[in-house]
Chain A
Amino acid sequence: GAGVSQSPSNKVTEKGKDVELRCDPISGHTALYWYRQSLGQGLEFLIYFQGNSAPDKSGLPSDRFSAERTGGSVSTLTIQRTQQEDSAVYLCASSLGGFGETQYFGPGTRLLVL
């Protein structure tokens, strides 16, 4: 079956612009996660959705970052007024939602802020 998909695969933007990153989870997966991986850094957690609710937003680095999920499916991560330090690979993962369930990752969106 289809895995997690993300779009765009690559995004180049200018400092100060807003960007939207999209994630389509595996069908039937109730849990959805956003992570980011910066050059030379490990993956860091950003936000977790269970259905359309986000019980854990603790990883969002600033109020320029927001995310939503609609219909218990597609999620959008929005970064407003992008900064150069936002350049990273943004990865989305989904799981069945139970504790310890395997998280399956999408291919990521490579964001470069000039």
Chain B
Amino acid sequence: RKEVEQDPGPFNVPEGATVAFNCTYSNSASQSFFWYRQDCRKEPKLLMSVYSSGNEDGRFTAQLNRASQYISLLIRDSKLSDSATYLCVVIGNTGFQKLVFGTGTRLLVSP
């Protein structure tokens, strides 16, 4: 079983739609959680950190459920520019900072 699992998609949605991505992680001792965005043939870029209390950044809302080892990302009012692969990322508790990536969920927003 992979340490971080995501639905690979693609999710095809029209502009203006609301879309949600989910992610599960297997290491219950994981400490930090993130969503990264990766455009085609580009490097990953941090979208937002994820906290147990939930956090929102504009149209993006991230939630963490530690009991279920589940992370979510909600995108409201989708824009064409949101088309990308969204990577769920976890840092374990080893004291080292290595990021453990899911394989990503691809989003395609169409006009």
Give A residues with C-beta under 8 Å from B. 31, 33, 35, 41-45, 48, 55-56, 58-59, 91, 93, 95, 97, 99-108
Contact = CB atoms under 8 A, between A and B. Distances in A.
Contacts of A100: 31-32, 49, 91, 97
A91 B104 CA distance: 16
Nearest to A43: B101
Interface of B is mostly: loop
Contacts of B102: 42
B98 interface: yes
A45 to B, nearest CB: 4
B100 interface: yes
B42 interface: yes
A108 B94 CA distance: 26
Given A31-B97, A105-B43, 12 more contacts: A33-B97, A43-B101, A48-B96, A48-B97, A56-B96, A59-B98, A93-B99, A99-B32, A100-B49, A103-B46, A103-B99, A107-B43
Contact of A108 (B43, B99, B101): B43
Contacts of B44: 43, 91, 105
Interface range for B: 20 to 34
B98 A48 contact: yes
B45 interface: yes
Contact of B99 (A33, A55, A97): A33
B104 A42 contact: yes
| Most chain B CB within a 10 A radius of its CB, from A56, A58, A103 | A103
B43 A41 contact: no
Contacts of A55: 96
- List of 10 A-B pairs having minimum Cβ-Cβ separation, nearest first: A105-B43, A42-B103, A45-B98, A43-B101, A56-B96, A100-B32, A42-B101, A102-B46, A105-B44, A107-B43
A95 B94 CA distance: 17
B97 A101 contact: yes
